[in-house]
Amino acid sequence: MVVGSVAYDGVETPHGRVDRMLGGACTYISLSASFFAPVKIVAVVGDDFDPADTAFLKSRGIDLTGLERVPGKTFFWQGVYSDDMNDRTTLRTDLNVFADFDPKLPESYRSQPYLLLGNIQPALQRNVQRQMSETRFVGGDTMNYWIDDFKDELLATIKTWDFLRINDSEAKLLSGESNLRRAARKSLAMGPNTLVIKRGEYGAMLFREDQYFIVPGYLLDEVFDPTGAGDCFAGGFVGYLAECGFDLARDRIDRKHLSRAVIHGSVMGSFCCEKFGVDRFRTLTRAEIDARYREFKDFTDF
């Protein structure tokens, strides 16, 4: 089960520009996870939400019972990437119907085993968690805004999580440590048993109390649009765990499978960047995913 934003994005990269396309953290996470396990989403859209987009999500087997449709416009975000695509500038953020998002879970959602929370206000993330009854696994994302201005609320929220995913600058901000190893140690002490730090094109790192794993980023010939890559990582990571029936409790997953979950996350993040928005997921196949997994093995094994 995935909670977060379903949105429209306007994106400009050195490879082109799209004024309006399907986006949002919940969308990226769900599409990515849908290649591994059945997905249910909780989100809100306006009455401008395109039936073609609903149809696409459904075609990936995503349960939309929890996708509320209310009068008004869907969340809209617009941004432009720098030439090397390592920076982006937000040009516009219209929260629209997302401003009043207060997720209520359908009865059929409440006993889902895997809960992945997109980057929304920590108090809302906690509200969702409270409505669940048999969750084996809770994880999510946050960002500098919540770390800076909602620190106490955020700490109370992630305290009960199994899995926290942030990027390297957020890890430093959250922990107050400039060294990543120490930042990871401090972040784990805040509650989660598993921390994933994303480093953009440089890859990802997983930390637990007794182990760590690092994978470099996949080298694409062209990065068309990095929007959503981190969310697709999360979808692949948790989707793989769900597919295998693992969660992050110490006795229910081994070292190898944890690392393989990170690789599946990385694989999905890399595919995400190959086309604008979610377009790559319209044609992606499990065989392509498995082939890229083997490629990761080839270029990292020694």
**Residues of this chain that bind a copy of itself (CB under 8 A):** 83-84, 178-182, 199, 202-203, 205, 211-216, 219-223, 256, 259-260, 262-263, 297-302
CB of 295 to a copy of itself, least distance (A): 10
User: The sheet that has 2-3: what strands, in order across it?
Assistant: 63-69, 40-45, 2-3, 114-117, 137-141, 163-167, 194-198, 204-208, 211-215
Report the C-alpha dihedral over residues 7, 52, 30, 226, rounded to 10 degrees.
-60
Closest approach, Cβ 294 to a copy of itself, in A, equals 12
Of 160 and 300, the one with the shorter C-beta distance to a copy of itself is: 300
Closest residue by Cα to residue 11 from 73, 59, 74, 80: 80
Q: Which is nearer to a copy of itself, 80 or 155 (CB)?
A: 80
Query: CB 302 → a copy of itself: shortest distance, Å?
Result: 4
For a copy of itself, the closer of residues 121 and 259 by Cβ is 259
Cross-strand pairs, 42: 3, 66
Residue 194 · residue 173 · CB < 8 Å: no
Name which of 15 and 130 has its Cβ closer to a copy of itself.
Answer: 15
- CB-nearer residue toward a copy of itself: 47 or 87: 87
Closest to 136 (Cα-Cα) out of 235, 234, 3, 252: 252
Min CB(202)–a copy of itself separation in Å: 4
DSSP conformational letter for 77: E
Single-letter amino acid, residue 182? R
Q: Which residue has the tokens 């990226």?
A: 28
Q: In whole angstroms, how close is the CB of 157 to a copy of itself at the nearest point?
A: 27
Nearer to a copy of itself, 152 or 298 (CB): 298
Q: Roughly how many angstroms between the first and final C-alpha of the chain, as a whole number?
A: 37
The minimum distance between CB 101 and a copy of itself, in angstroms, equals 36
